[in-house]
């Protein structure tokens, strides 16, 4: 776990407020993500974590506030253009395209970085052929190998078990040539072994690809072990942020998760929970 670098943040949320009619999903949410770091966004269910991701992705337009990517204001930028900049993500409830194979799903991730237009495509000469060949080689050697999914590359995604689907989601996000990789609950529903595999992949991605990771996660062990920085949301607001140790000790955080009660006792329980998770 490396310390966040002192250079300019690669992603910033500034005073984001998101409202659906009368319901405020996010209120004045602000935090920075340092390049090359792993940042976790945690919070109880309904805290607004996925809404935050959707706002950063460009799917929701915030009523107030800004999103900055490498210093540039992307708040008004449409979602496809953010993908082209290097903002990749995976989804909470797997959003693979069931009509395509694993390989095609992964290749789709590269869409924003390819140049083939409809004329190139219809005749499949020149640019289309070159781009596809290069894409295939890149995906095979860098992604499929890396995530160990070569045995299922031609499988239809609908037939895959949950754990493998999640891995294919990750592969597709990697194909987006990300500078920032947003993972929405990457280990949800996974057993111990799958979780460890995924944690290993995330660390490898950061080390070998230089990717910054921003993740929403509920698995406290993973969060505490992997993250350099943790942001805690509750009811759409940031109630704490800092290193995992700082956040773990924060009474507001404990109260949010476990309700009111003896803070000391809850603290012990939280640490105990984290310890079990890390074992």
Partner 1 sequence: MRIGTLKQSYIADAALFDSRTQKAWLAIGAALLVLFPFMASDYWLYLACLVAINVASATGLNILTGYTGLVSLGQAAFMGLGAYTVAIMQTRLGTPFLLNILAGGVVAMLGGLVVGIPSLRVKGLYLAIATIAASFITHFLFANLKLTGGTTGISLPPAQLFGLPLDTSFRLYWVIVPVMVLMVLGAANLFRTRVGRAFIAIRDRDISAEVLGIPLLRYKLLSFGLSSFYAGVAGGLWAYFFRVVTPESFPLLMSIFFLAAIIVGGMGTILGGIFGAVFMTMVPELLKLVVDLLPGGVEMTVFLSPVRTVVFGLLIVGFLVFEPHGLAEVWRRIRRFFHLWPFRN
Partner 2 sequence: MDWAYLFEIALTGIAGGGLYALAALAFVLVYKATRVVNIAIGEMLMVGAYLFFTFAASFSLPIWMAVLGSVIGTGLLGAVIERTMIRPLLGEPPISVFMVTVGLASILVGLVEIIWTADQRRLPEFLPNTPVMIGEAFLAPKIAYGALIAVVLIGLVLLLFRFWRGGVALRATASDQAAAYSMGIHVPRVFSLAWVASAMIAAVAGIIVGAIGGISSSMGVFGLSVLVVVIVGGLDSVLGALVGGVLIGLIEALAGSYLGGEYKLLATFIVLVFVLMVRPYGLFGTHEIERL
Q: Which chain residues interact with partner 2 by CB under 8 A?
A: 20, 50, 53-54, 57, 59, 91-92, 95
* Three-state secondary-structure class, residue 204: helix
In this chain, which of 80, 126, 189, 264 binds partner 1, going by CB under 8 A? 80
Rounded (10°) angle between helices 251-258 and 263-278: 80
Cβ closer to partner 2: 51 or 212? 51
Q: How far is the CB of 188 from partner 1 (least distance, A)?
A: 17
| CA-wise closest residue to 132 among 156, 149, 110 | 110
The owner of tokens 């890149």 is: 138
Rounded to 5 degrees, φ, ψ at 150 are -65, -25
Separation of alpha carbons 178 and 135, rounded Å: 15
- Measured distance CA(217)–CA(197) in Å, rounded: 15
Q: Which of 133, 245, 275, 278 binds partner 1 (CB under 8 A)?
A: 133
Answer with the entry of partner 2, partner 1, none that 20 interacts with (C-beta below 5 to 8 A by kind): partner 2
Question: Considering CB under 8 A, how many residues would be counted as binding partner 1?
Answer: 41
Longest distance between any two alpha carbons in the chain, whole Å: 70
Q: How far is the CB of 98 from partner 1 (least distance, A)?
A: 6
| Partner from partner 1, partner 2, none contacting 50, C-beta within 5 to 8 A by type | partner 2
Binding-site partner at residue 104 among partner 2, partner 1, none, CB < 5 to 8 Å by type = partner 1
Q: Is 240 helix (H, G, I), strand (E, B) or coil?
A: strand
Range in contact with partner 1 (rule: CB under 8 A) among 1-9, 93-101, 251-259, 268-276: 93-101
Measured between alpha carbons, how far is residue 98 from residues 92, 159, 188 in Å?
16, 9, 20
User: How far, rounded to the nearest angstrom, does the alpha carbon of residue 97 sit from its chain's CA centroid?
Assistant: 18
Residue 123 sits in the site that holds partner 1 (CB under 8 A): yes
Q: Which of 83, 174, 180, 231 touches partner 1 by CB under 8 A?
A: 83
Report helix, strand and coil shares of the chain as percent, to nearest 5.
45, 20, 30
- Which member of 49, 110, 166, 229 binds partner 1 (CB under 8 A)? 110
By CB under 8 A, which span of 21-29, 131-139, 213-221, 233-241 interacts with partner 1?
A: 131-139
Q: Considering only the stretches 11-19, 81-89, 242-250, 265-273, report the one whose residues sit in contact with partner 1 under the rule CB under 8 A.
A: 81-89
Measured distance CA(259)–CA(224) in Å, rounded: 20
With contacts defined by CB under 8 A, name the span among 112-120, 217-225, 235-243, 269-277 that binds partner 1.
112-120
The residue from 108, 188, 199, 239 that contacts partner 1 (CB under 8 A) is 108
Shortest distance, CB of residue 117 to partner 1, whole angstroms? 7
| C-beta of residue 174 within 8 angstroms of C-beta of residue 135 | no
């Amino acid at each position: 776990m490396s310390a966040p670098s002192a250079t300019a943040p690669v992603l910033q949320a500034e005073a984001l407020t998101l409202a659906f009619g009368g319901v405020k999903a996010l209120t004045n949410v602000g935090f920075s993500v340092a390049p090359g770091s792993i940042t976790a966004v945690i919070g109880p269910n309904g805290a607004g974590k996925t809404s935050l991701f959707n706002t950063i992705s460009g799917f929701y337009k915030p009523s107030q506030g800004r999103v900055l990517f490498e210093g540039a204001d992307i708040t008004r930028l449409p979602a496809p253009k953010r993908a082209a900049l290097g903002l990749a993500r995976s989804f909470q409830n797997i959003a693979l395209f069931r009509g395509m194979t694993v390989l095609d799903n992964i290749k789709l991730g590269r869409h924003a970085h390819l140049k083939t237009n409809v004329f190139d495509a219809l005749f499949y000469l020149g640019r289309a052929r070159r781009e596809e060949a290069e894409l295939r080689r890149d995906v095979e050697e860098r992604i499929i190998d890396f995530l160990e999914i070569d045995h299922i590359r031609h499988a239809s995604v609908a037939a895959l078990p949950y754990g493998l689907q999640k891995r294919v989601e990750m592969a597709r996000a990697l194909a987006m040539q990300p500078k920032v990789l947003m993972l929405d609950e990457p280990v949800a529903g996974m057993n111990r072994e799958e979780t460890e595999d995924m944690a290993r992949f995330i660390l490898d991605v950061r080390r070998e690809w230089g990717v910054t990771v921003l993740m929403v996660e509920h698995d406290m062990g993973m969060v505490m072990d992997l993250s350099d920085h943790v942001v805690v949301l509750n009811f759409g607001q940031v109630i704490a942020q800092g290193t995992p140790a700082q956040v773990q000790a924060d009474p507001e955080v404990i109260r949010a998760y476990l309700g009111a009660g003896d803070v000391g006792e809850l603290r012990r329980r939280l640490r105990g929970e984290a310890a079990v998770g890390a074992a």
